[in-house]
Amino acid sequence: MSIAASTSAQSEPLTPEIDQLAITTLRFLAADAVQSANSGHPGLPLGAAPAAWVLWSRHLRHDPTDPRWPDRDRFVLSAGHGSALLYALLHVFGYDLPASELAQFRQLGSRTPGHPEYGLTAGVETTTGPLGQGLANAVGMALAERMLAARCNNEVHESVVDHRTWVLAGDGDLMEGISHEAASLAGRLGLGRLTVIFDDNNITIDGTADLSCRDDALARFAAYGWQTISVEDGNDVAAIDQALTRARENVSTPTFIKLRTTIGCGAPGLEGTSKVHGSPLGAEALAAMRTNFDWPPAAFHVPEAVRAATSALAGQAAQVREQWERDHADWIADHPQLAADFPLGRVPGPPETDILTPLTADIATERIATRQASGMALNALAPHYPALVGGSADLAGSTNTGIVGGDVKTGNYGGRTIHFGIREHAMAAVMNGMSVHGGLRPFGSTFLVFADYLRPALRMSALMRQPVIYVFTHDSIYVGEDGPTHQPIEHIESLRLIPGLTVLRPADAAETAQAWDIASRNLAGPTALILSRQSLPTLGDGACGNISTHGFRVVRNRPDAVDVVLAASGSEVSLAVEAADLLADRDIHASVLSVMWRERLHETLLRDPKVLPDLPVVWIEAGIPTGWRAVARDRDAVVGIARFGESGPGPQVAAHLGLTASAIAEAAFSCLDSASAGKQEPAIDC
C-alpha cells in the first residue's frame, strides 16, 4: 500500500503519518522542480524537509491568505540555493504559488527563480542567494521587531508587535564572514526572538565541509551569547519539534540549532555526496526514489491528506490573524499618531512638511565640512521623523550620525542609535532586514573607503529597492595623513555603477541639507550621501531646488557672455570657483556648476542637451574619471585622479597629484584652444 493511500482518510491536522507524508511531499516537489528545470539544488531540500515541515506546521505564525500580515513570523531561507524547498512549502501551505509555477522553476518570467527574490513571490521575505546575507537580514528583522515592540506595545495593547524570526542556514552561510558579524551583533543585543537552524550536512560543492572548515559551530555561537541546541537526527520530527519549542521559550537570547542532516536524503546513490548539492537527481535516480517511497509517477503530486492538513492549519492561522487585526484596529484608534509614525508592514516616509530647506539659511554662511552639515540636517530632521533610526560602524563621532533618543541596548530597544560596531558588512545587511520588515527607516554610516566592506549588502539594497540611507564620509584624497589606504579614489564611481542607487555628493552645507531631503523622500531605493572630512565654503546663494530636477545647480555665473563651463562635484566645486578666478584674470569668463547628482544630470542631458550652454565643459572630481567621460562631449575635458593617493596633509596631496585650481584653468584653456582649432581635447587624468 502506498503512503498516500494509507493516510488519505486521516482527519487530524497533524499525526505521525501526516508528518511523514508531508515531508515526502516536500521532497518530491523540490526534486521534481529541479528536474523539470534540469538545473538547481535538490540536496538541501531533500535533507532539510523534515525541519522545514515541523517549523511551518507547528511553530511559524503565518497566514497564506495574507502573506504581508505585519505581525507574521518571518522565515528566511538564508541558504537560498535551496529555493525549491521554499517554493514547495509555499505551494503546500496554500500560498499563491500553483504547481504550474513549480513546473516553471528557474525559467524566465516565473515566480520560482533560482534564488528567492523579494517582491516577486508571495511569502518570500527577502532576496537570498549570496550566502550569509539572509542570516544578517534576519538579524535586522529581529531587531526591527524588538524596536517596534518597544515603541508600539503598552499595557493595554501588549502584543501589537509580537512575532519571531526563523532562519534556515547552511555551511556556506556560516563560513562567510558576514555571519560572524551579524551573529555577534545579535548576541550582544539579546535578540531572543531569533532562531537559526543550521542544516549541518557536512557537504559543500567541493566535497565534505571539513576539507575547509572544522569549526565547532555550537561553541562559536555560544561565545556570541546564543542559546545552542544540537539535534543529531535531521529526520527525528519529535526532536526537531522539541528544539524549536525550546527556542520559542527563550526570549532573552537568540537560539542556534545545529541540525545534523543528510544531503540528498532518499536519493539512491547520491545521498550524502556533493553530487546532489547543485545538480538534478536525473531521471533514473528520481524514478528509483519514487519506487523506494512508493510515490506516484506524476510530477508535483500533493496527496489530499496533506492538502487537508495544511488547509486546517491555514484556517487556524487566519483566526489568529483576524484577531490581531481587530486588536490592531483598536490600537490605531487609541494611538493614531503612533500608528502614523510607525506604519507596521511598510517603510514610513518623511513628514510632508519641508524641514530641511529652511535649515539652509541657518548654515549657509558657515564654512564647515559636509559631514558636519549632514549631522545638523539629520538632527533637524530626526525629531519630525520618529521612524528614522540608525548609527555607524563605530564612527559616529567622525560621521556625525548621532541623534537624540538614546541607544538601542539589550532589553531596552526604545532608543534610536544603533551601535553596529566595526561590522560594515553586517550593518548594511541588518539595515536591509530592518527595511524589508517595515515600520522603521534605517540609516548607517562609515568612511567611504570602507564601502568596499559592505558592497555586497548595498547591492542587495538596490536589488530589493530598499530605501536604506548610507552616509559615507571622508570622501577623497583630502583625508590626507591617513594615506592611500584611507583615500577613496575609485569608490564614488563604483557606487554610481550600481543600478538603482542614488549617489549624492554635496558641495557645501546648503546642498547637504538638500541631499538629506532627497534621501529621506526617496522610497524607491537606497541613497548614498558622499561627504567631506574637510571644511568647505558656502557657494552661491544657497538655493538648491534645481538639483532634484536636473542634478546640478549654478553656483557662479555672469550676466554677460560665458566662455567655458566648469562642472564639479563635492569639494572640487570650490576648487572650480578658484579656477574661475584665475581664468577671469586672463579675461576668460567661466560659469561654475555643482553637480551633486551626476546620474540625474546625465538623464537630463539625454532628454534635453540644451540644459547646458553650448560651450566647452571641464568636468572635475577627485576620483576615477571614467564615468565623467560618458557625460563629456568631444570638446570637453575631464580632470580626475587615476592613481592611488599619498600620505600627507590633504591640500599637499591634492597639489602633488595635480588637482589644483591652476590645473583646472589650464584644462579650460586647452578646451578653448582645441575648440577654436577644431580639435578634440582628450581627458586629463591628474
**Residue 232: closest CA among 198, 181, 208:** 198
Q: How confident is the model at residue 686 (pLDDT cuts 50, 70, 90)?
A: low
Rounded CA separation 439/140 (Å): 12
What does the pLDDT look like over 487-526, one tens digit per residue?
A: 999 999 999 999 999 999 999 999 999 999 999 999 999 9
Q: Could you say which of 3.40.50.970, 3.30.360.10, 3.40.50.450, 3.40.1390.30 is the CATH number of the domain covering 16-317?
A: 3.40.50.970
For the domain bounded by 356-530, which CATH number is listed? 3.40.50.970
- Find the distance separating the first CA and the last CA of the chain, reported in whole Å: 80
> What's the confidence (pLDDT) of residue 283?
97
Rounded CA separation 45/62 (Å): 21
Q: Is 384 helix (H, G, I), strand (E, B) or coil?
A: helix
Rounded CA separation 121/96 (Å): 8
Is 472 or 10 the better-scoring residue by pLDDT?
Answer: 472
Residues annotated as part of the active site: 424
Q: Residue positions in the annotated binding site? A: 41, 81, 129-131, 171-172, 201, 203, 277, 371, 398, 450, 474, 482, 486, 533
Rounded CA separation 426/88 (Å): 30
Provide mean pLDDT across the span 143-157.
97
What does the pLDDT look like over 46-67, one tens digit per residue?
A: 999 999 999 999 999 999 999 9
Q: Residue positions in the annotated binding site for thiamine diphosphate? A: 81, 129-131, 172, 201, 277, 450
Length reported for the chain: 686
Decide if pLDDT at 6 tops 80: no
pTM: 0.96
Same fold, 356-530 and 546-678: yes
Pairing state between β 417-419 and 388-392: parallel
**Residue 390: closest CA among 370, 409, 412, 415:** 415
Cell of 240: 526537531
Q: Residue positions in the annotated binding site for substrate? A: 41, 277, 371, 398, 474, 482, 486, 533
**Residue 639: closest CA among 607, 667, 617, 614:** 667
Residue with the three cell numbers 499618531: 337
Question: From residue 425, how far is each of 133, 482, 674 by CA, in Å?
Answer: 9, 22, 47
Rounded CA separation 566/593 (Å): 6
Rounded CA separation 604/231 (Å): 59
Find out if CATH 3.10.20.600 is the number for domain 546-678.
no
Query: Domain-by-domain residue ranges, the chain?
Result: 16-317, 356-530, 546-678
Q: Residue positions in the annotated binding site for Mg(2+)? A: 171, 201, 203
Q: Is 595 helix (H, G, I), strand (E, B) or coil?
A: coil
Residue with the three cell numbers 542567494: 129
What does the pLDDT look like over 231-285, one tens digit per residue?
A: 999 999 999 999 999 999 999 999 999 999 999 999 999 999 999 999 999 999 9
**Residue 351 phi, psi (nearest 5):** -65, 150
Cβ neighbours of 366 (radius 10 Å): 16
